[in-house]
Structure 1
Amino acid sequence: MAKEQENRRPGTPIVIAMKGHPGTGKSTLARALSSALKIPLLDKDDVRDCTLALQQRHQPHDGLLNDLAYDVVFAVAATQLSNGLSVVVDSPLSRRARLDRLVRLASSHGARVAVVECRPGDEAEWRRRLEARRDAGSWHKPATWRDLERLLEAYGGCTEYDLGGVPRLVVDTTSGGDGGAAAAEEFVAAVRGGRWGGCAAREE
């Protein structure tokens, strides 16, 4: 109960920035954190899903609509932070520039940033989850393992970057249990309370 009260008490807002490739369990963990901490969840895919009509009518480069989705999510995050609310931002966070922008945004509102990165240790389970969600998945997400491989090839390794001192917890969401939710809650509480001394951690 003490930990739960600490997580929910008023104080310095925090941006919990999810990070990881499609199908790694980011959204499941993001929802768990949002529910447990009673803070807004901002999902970039929710915005991207709404751009289907633009995609069909104008057929812009995919990057433009993806940038738009980030712009909207970050703008909404800024509004929540200005009201003193913490937020969970669910996105791949695949480029350092996205993180830098989020850090600047948080800093301008006196908030902290904590990255929760999902890295499944069991590739077979990762693949099963990715392809099992095919019917319910968004139109812009990879629907097959080969789609994901093409996406990762296009990234060219840019997803592996130094976080520049931003606190990070790396979670193996295929290891069973609660998918890392308890560890993530403890991590967030430590960052929010200014008690996090390291730059990275791993929950096996």
Structure 2
Amino acid sequence: MLIVMCGLPGAGKSAVAQALARALRAPVLSVDPIEAAVWRAGVEREQPTGVAAYAVAQATAAENLRLGLTVIVDAVNDAPEARSAWIDLAREQVVPLRFIEVLCSDPEVHQRRLLQRRRDLPGFPEPTWESVQERRAAFADWQQERLVLDSLRPLPELTAHALAHLSVDAAGPG
């Protein structure tokens, strides 16, 4: 199964992705660390490194799916092109695809989380609240089914809800 996490920076999608990874014993392919590695390798930031990071995640996901593993992708996935690429990959690999969007319904909590988060990504700047608001305004409407989780709920509850959703979906058509 291909599980694609979606949501704005700081909303809590990485925490849910990591909890699901532990529960499912599945790899998480996170786009931000990939992009940070591309920069550390010497590719200039003016290049389309974000697009490259998604491409690397897709190629790595394909390899893991071919091995019969469930894969979790952790990225904003706010553009139709990004979502379409995951749809195409799931079709090519003949695996079920599940989108999980994580949002934080309280803007003050979301902003506080974003400002307090410290990831270990050398050279990768944390987004500003203003940049998150710009992404929110540009976030493409959904055309696909997805599970929506509000990260104001406790992480164990979100994880259990997602696992129940994935278990039910796994029994149905992909």
| Same fold, TM-score > 0.5, yes or no | yes
Q: Which residue in 1 is equivalent to 2:24?
A: 37
Task: Structure 1 unaligned segments of length 5 or more: list them.
Answer: 1-13, 197-204
- Gap regions ≥5 residues in structure 2: none
| Residue of 44, 53, 57 corresponding to 1:58 | 44
Q: Distance in 2 between matches of 1:41 and 1:115?
A: 14
- The answer to whether the Cα contact below 8 Å between 2:36 and 2:121 also exists between their aligned partners in 1 is no
**Cα separation, 1, equivalents of 2:27 and 2:155:** 24
1:180 aligns to 2:166 (yes or no): no
The alpha carbon displacement at 1:182 in A equals: 0.6
Question: Could you tell me the percent identity over the aligned residues?
Answer: 27
What's the CA shift for 1:40?
1.2
The CA deviation string for residues 94-146 of structure 1, in whole angstroms up to 9 with x for no partner, is 1111111111111111101001101111211111100001575662430x322
Given that 2:104 and 2:152 are in contact with CA atoms closer than 8 Å, whether structure 1 keeps it comes out as yes
In structure 2, the residue matched to 1:160 is 141
Alignment-derived partner of residue 141 in structure 1: 126
Q: CA deviation at 1:70?
A: 0.4
Give the match's secondary structure for 1:107.
helix
CA distance in 2, matches of 1:179, 1:21: 20
> Is 1:113 paired with 2:97?
yes
Tell me whether 1:190 sits opposite 2:168 in the alignment: yes
CA separation in 2, counterparts of 1:195 and 1:101?
Answer: 20
Paired position in structure 2 for 1:17: 4
1:51 aligned counterpart, secondary structure: helix
| Cα contact 2:65–2:93 (8 A) shared by 1 | yes
* Deviation digits for residues 32-56 of structure 1 (CA, Å, limit 9, x no counterpart): 000001111111112011122366x
> Which of 1 and 2 has greater Rg?
1
Q: Distance in 1 between matches of 2:40 and 2:155?
A: 39
Distance 1:25 1:135 in 2: 13
CA contact (8 A) 1:172 1:179 kept: no
**Partner Cα distance (2:33, 2:120) in 1:** 13
Q: Could you say what secondary structure the match of 1:58 adopts?
A: coil
1:59: how far off? Answer: 4.3
**Which amino acid in structure 2 is aligned with residue 172 of structure 1?**
D
Please report the TM-score for the alignment, with normalisation by the length of structure 2.
0.89
Q: Which runs of 4+ in 1 moved over 6 A?
A: none
Provide the rounded CA distance (Å) in 2 between the counterparts of 1:68 and 1:81.
20
What whole-Å deviation, never above 9, does each CA across 1:21-75 have from its counterpart, x for those lacking one?
00000000000000001111111112011122366x63424xx100000000000
Within 2, Cα distance between the matches of 1:59 and 1:112? 34
Report the count of equivalent residues. Answer: 173
Q: CA deviation at 1:78?
A: 0.3
Match of 1:95 in 2: 79
**Distance change (3 Å), C-alpha of 1:151 and 1:137:** farther
